[in-house]
A and B are shown apart, each in its own frame.
Chain A
């Protein structure tokens, strides 16, 4: 039996990788994947805590996260495709027209 802590450590690791990825990568697609990684890291910790405490609330939350993530992927990818068609680039730093 694998101790609960391991799951939590894995979740923290995955979240950190995702967060660092969002911060250091400029390709929007990669940043997007990193966000998915962070979401699923959180899902993992939800499930783990449920297992530790013997409840179902966390698992229900996971379903919500999954649904939101799916919707977000649809909208996000559509935006990215739209931008890519117009600018032929997926560099996040070049998309900085919405500023002061």
Chain B
């Protein structure tokens, strides 16, 4: 039955891609019902888990023998445990909503059939990824989602920027996948199998030692950093916004980019083998969160702000799962997955809202040319505001709870500095999101005169409303980290392996939890107030100019994205191109082609002379045959003697 979950969207994808020219306006309905069916089956799987006792909540197993070569065996294994169930419901649930939204968004695109085919293919691949019970199956899904990401980013491939963005995403992901692949080789060599249950059991029984214990998780982390857009491989995600907006919402915000977080959580036993690995995960996470937030502050493109925000929030999740690996306890992982879920809700909502805005103003993405859209887009603006408050961490919306639990987990497990930086990032997040909302929906209209903003069709606004509801009440999933529903549900997954009992709840300065939460919420509110002062309040212009005077250097750096792209260009892209040029026009054209062509020329020249022996004279051939026969006979005679 588990096979049905990815098989339904896969069937949809195959059908849509074969009949892409014929399905016409039914493409969206077909794709949506395929992923909806998958959601339904996921619900059944989830309820099956629910009926079992907490310790034995895992179903599934070998579907068929996939690869058997000598001593190497890899089975196509699908498994569902509480963690997978959460991912399944997020992927299929949010996925279904975004599929439905796309019906409206892509209504006038000629290549709808292809688009929905890719979208379904992505859903199938992502479901294989989260269902995988074997590292190789996971890798299969991992590569397939990368492929779909490439196909969908460059969906409008007639735009050079879209084609380049797709290429960039693919290449950067390949770098990460390289690390992943080496990690798989090491796992196979160390444990003799790629089956997750066995690998984790063996790693839990006899912990790895030496460099292997660090190498395997760090190489896995490289793959995670590629997929989840963490330093140093985050650069592809902002460019990925070239794709259609529902793609950004589904793949580059809600689901695919969380694959890295999922993998760290899934392979937590391996990450717990080495303190260095956990530390690196936390470090990368917080650094990415800070850097991306610092860039997001000054971006003017409505989707780019959200893209950097996604990178930043993914950094948050990495901090959480890294804390779990560092302290070998379950609750930080739960906090990370909780944030993954709520982030899927509100970030999908924000992206789809941004898509609705772009729809309204004629595909304009520059926020400087928006403003005052609140009146023209009542539903979009209201839902967007809910998403904004959720991501900013304003209670009682979902983002507040999930962010708070990550920070609480960091403090409890002895990472006070991470807590401080995390609070700073929370403030920055609230600031740039407020800036975005104020620039887009409030203030005076700066929309071009010939554009008349209009609300999107109901098929889109209904989805926005559903997601807004989820973003608002998502916090109910886990009201407190120590006693929440999600914590109870997920904890058994993370208690295997090397595990230390969770410490007693500890808070900064020993203050009650409520006070700390209130403080974090206050930071967010203060950041929102600051954004209001700088972008909306009377005299905002003057305040901005004054601030630019003192912080101009930082603003310019932020606008230029800290020159990371330029740095990579001169460090890797440019030398790579030089090497490729030498290889193509020097080595390949001269040496390799020279050898091949030279051999052919030599044979040709020899043949020109040799062919004169073929005179056409029968008697000459007969003479040659006779001479040959006589020689052979003579040879025999001599040998016999």
Task: Name, among A92, A97, A99, the residue most crowded by chain B CB atoms within 10 Å (CB to CB).
Answer: A99
Q: Given the interface contacts A19-B626, A23-B626, does A99 sit within 8 Å of B619 by beta carbon?
A: no
Query: Quick check: B612 and A93 within 8 Å, CB to CB?
Result: no
Chain A residues whose CB sits within 8 angstroms of the CB of B615 once the complex forms: 96, 99
For residue A100, CB closer than 8 A to chain B, the reply is yes
Determine which of B611, B619, B623 lies in contact with A93 in the assembled complex, contact meaning CB atoms within 8 Å: B619
Task: Name, among A22, A31, A96, A100, the residue most crowded by chain B CB atoms within 10 Å (CB to CB).
Answer: A100
Query: Quick check: B619 and A92 within 8 Å, CB to CB?
Result: yes
Query: Quick check: A100 and B626 within 8 Å, CB to CB?
Result: no
A26 to B622, CA, bound (A): 12
Query: Quick check: A97 and B626 within 8 Å, CB to CB?
Result: no
A99 to B617, CA, bound (A): 8
Determine which of B611, B612, B623 lies in contact with A23 in the assembled complex, contact meaning CB atoms within 8 Å: B623
For residue B616, CB closer than 8 A to chain A, the reply is yes
Determine which of B614, B622, B623, B626 lies in contact with A99 in the assembled complex, contact meaning CB atoms within 8 Å: B614
Say how far B444's CB is from chain A's closest CB, in angstroms: 88
For residue B618, CB closer than 8 A to chain A, the reply is yes
User: A38 — nearest CB in chain B belongs to which residue?
Assistant: B626
User: A26 — nearest CB in chain B belongs to which residue?
Assistant: B619
Say how far B583's CB is from chain A's closest CB, in angstroms: 41
Chain B residues whose CB sits within 8 angstroms of the CB of A19 once the complex forms: 626
User: A96 — nearest CB in chain B belongs to which residue?
Assistant: B616
A95 to B619, CA, bound (A): 11
A96 to B621, CA, bound (A): 11
A99 to B614, CA, bound (A): 6
For residue A2, CB closer than 8 A to chain B, the reply is no
Chain A residues whose CB sits within 8 angstroms of the CB of B612 once the complex forms: 100
Determine which of A22, A26, A31, A98 lies in contact with B616 in the assembled complex, contact meaning CB atoms within 8 Å: A98
Say how far A17's CB is from chain B's closest CB, in angstroms: 13
Chain B residues whose CB sits within 8 angstroms of the CB of A23 once the complex forms: 619, 622-623, 626
Q: For chain A, residues 75 to 100, give those with C-beta under 8 angstroms from any C-beta of chain B.
A: 92-93, 95-100
Query: Quick check: A22 and B619 within 8 Å, CB to CB?
Result: yes
Number of interface residues of A (CB under 8 A): 13
Q: Mark B94-122, 1 if CB is under 8 A from A, else 0.
A: 00000000000000000000000000000
Q: Mark B601-631, 1 if CB is under 8 A from A, else 0.
A: 0000000000110111111001100100000
A41 to B612, CA, bound (A): 34
Chain A residues whose CB sits within 8 angstroms of the CB of B614 once the complex forms: 99-100
Task: Name, among B612, B619, B623, the residue most crowded by chain A CB atoms within 10 Å (CB to CB).
Answer: B619
User: A92 — nearest CB in chain B belongs to which residue?
Assistant: B618
Chain B residues whose CB sits within 8 angstroms of the CB of A99 once the complex forms: 614-616
Say how far A72's CB is from chain B's closest CB, in angstroms: 15
Q: Mark A18-38, 1 if CB is under 8 A from B, else 0.
A: 010011001000010000000
User: B615 — nearest CB in chain A belongs to which residue?
Assistant: A99
Say how far A96's CB is from chain B's closest CB, in angstroms: 3
Chain A residues whose CB sits within 8 angstroms of the CB of B618 once the complex forms: 31, 92, 95-96
A31 to B616, CA, bound (A): 16
A38 to B363, CA, bound (A): 93
User: A22 — nearest CB in chain B belongs to which residue?
Assistant: B622
A96 to B626, CA, bound (A): 19
User: A93 — nearest CB in chain B belongs to which residue?
Assistant: B617
Say how far A78's CB is from chain B's closest CB, in angstroms: 17
A92 to B626, CA, bound (A): 17
User: B629 — nearest CB in chain A belongs to which residue?
Assistant: A19
Chain A residues whose CB sits within 8 angstroms of the CB of B626 once the complex forms: 19, 23
Say how far A23's CB is from chain B's closest CB, in angstroms: 6
A22 to B616, CA, bound (A): 15
Task: Name, among B611, B612, B618, B626, the residue most crowded by chain A CB atoms within 10 Å (CB to CB).
Answer: B618
Q: Mark A44-84, 1 if CB is under 8 A from B, else 0.
A: 00000000000000000000000000000000000000000
A99 to B618, CA, bound (A): 11
Task: Name, among B612, B614, B622, B623, the residue most crowded by chain A CB atoms within 10 Å (CB to CB).
Answer: B622
User: A34 — nearest CB in chain B belongs to which residue?
Assistant: B622
Query: Quick check: A97 and B619 within 8 Å, CB to CB?
Result: no
Say how far A64's CB is from chain B's closest CB, in angstroms: 19
A23 to B617, CA, bound (A): 11
Q: A19-B626, A22-B622, A100-B612 are in contact. List 7 more A-B contacts (CB 8 A).
A: A23-B626, A31-B618, A96-B615, A96-B616, A98-B616, A99-B616, A100-B611
- Chain A interface (Cβ < 8 Å from any Cβ of B): 19, 22-23, 26, 31, 92-93, 95-100
Closest 10 CB pairs of A and B: A99-B616, A96-B616, A100-B611, A92-B618, A96-B617, A22-B622, A98-B616, A100-B614, A99-B614, A99-B615
26 contacts between A and B (CB under 8 A): A19-B626, A22-B619, A22-B622, A23-B619, A23-B623, A26-B619, A31-B618, A31-B619, A92-B618, A92-B619, A93-B617, A93-B619, A95-B616, A95-B618, A96-B615, A96-B616, A96-B617, A96-B618, A97-B616, A98-B616, A99-B614, A99-B615, A99-B616, A100-B611, A100-B612, A100-B614
